[in-house]
Amino acid sequence: MSNRWPVARQLPFAVLFFLLAPISSAVGQATPPVASTPALPPEAAGDLLFAHGEFLEAIDAYNHAPADAATLNKIGVAWHHLSAVDQDKHSYEKALNLRPDFPEALNNLGATYFAEKRYTQAIRLYQRALRLSPGSAVFAANLGTAWFAEGKSTQGLEAYRTAFARDPTVFDLDSPQIINGPITDQQRAQQDYCIAELFAEMNNLDRALEYLRKAFAAGFKDRKRLWQDHAFIELRATADFAELIGEVQLR
Phi and psi at residue 167, to the nearest 5°: -160, 105
Go through the domains of the chain in sequence order and give each one's CATH number.
1-133 (1.25.40.10)
Confidence (pLDDT) at 10: 31
* % of the chain at pLDDT higher than 90: 59
Query: pLDDT at position 87, please?
Result: 94
Q: Which parts of the chain fold into alpha helices (H)?
A: 42-51, 55-62, 69-81, 85-98, 103-115, 119-132, 137-149, 153-166, 185-201, 205-217, 223-228, 233-236, 239-249
Determine the pLDDT at residue 171. 76
**Does residue 57 register a pLDDT over 50?**
yes
Helix axes 103-115, 137-149, angle to 10 degrees: 20
> According to the model, what pLDDT value does residue 177 have?
47
**Cα 138 to Cα 24, 123, 247, distances in angstroms:** 22, 13, 34
Per-residue pLDDT band for 22 (boundaries 50, 70, 90) equals very low
Residue of 87, 86, 91 whose CA lies nearest to 20:
91
Mean pLDDT of the chain: 83
The predicted model gives 40-69 an average pLDDT of 94
Q: Express each pLDDT in 111-167 by its tens digit.
A: 899 989 999 999 999 999 999 999 999 999 999 989 988 889 889 999 999 998 999
Q: What digits encode the pLDDT tens for the residues 195-225?
A: 999 999 989 999 999 999 999 999 998 888 9
Residue 124: predicted pLDDT: 97
pLDDT beyond 60 at 241? yes
Q: What is the mean pLDDT of residues 164-185?
A: 67
